[in-house]
Amino acid sequence: MVAKTARSPSVEELSLFVEFAPAAMAMVDKEMRYVVVNNRWRVDLALGDQELIGRSHYEVVPDMPAHWLEVHRRCLAGATQKCDEDRFVRADGTVTWQRWEVHPWRDAAGQIGGLLIFGEDITARKNRDLAMLESATREQQRLGRDLHDGLGQELAAISLLTAALAARGTTQGASHEAAVAQLSLLAQRAVATCRAMAHGLSPLEFSGNDLTRALREMLSLQLGTFGLQTHFDVNQTSPLRLDRVAQENLYRIAQEAVSNARLHAHANLIQVVVEVNPRIVRLEVRDDGSGMPAQATSKGGIGIKVMSVRAGIIGARLSVEPGRTGGTTVLVECPQPQ
Helices of type H across the chain? 11-20, 39-44, 57-60, 68-76, 123-146, 152-168, 177-198, 211-226, 244-263, 294-295, 302-313
pLDDT for res 294: 55
Q: What distance in Å separates the CA atoms of residue 116 and residue 15, rounded to the nearest whole number?
A: 10
| Nearest partner of 161 among 176, 190, 184, 183, judged by Cα | 183
CA–CA distance, 27 with 38 (Å, rounded to integer): 9
From the list 303, 276, 281, 203, the residue with the least C-alpha distance to 244 is 203
Fold type of domain 11-121: Beta-Lactamase (3.30.450)
Q: What is the pLDDT of residues 275-295, one digit of tens each?
A: 999 999 999 999 998 876 655
Domain-by-domain residue ranges, the chain? 11-121, 130-168+175-201, 208-338
- Reported as a single tens digit per residue, the pLDDT across 298-308 is 445 667 888 88
Mean pLDDT by 10 residues, the chain (338 residues): 57 76 88 90 84 87 76 90 78 82 88 90 78 60 63 70 66 61 73 58 72 88 73 94 88 89 86 94 93 56 79 87 88 89
Kind plus residue range of the DSSP H or E element containing 274: strand 269-276
Q: Hey, which CATH number is domain 208-338, 3.30.479.10, 3.40.50.300, 3.40.50.720, 3.30.565.10?
A: 3.30.565.10
The pTM (predicted TM-score) of the whole model is 0.47
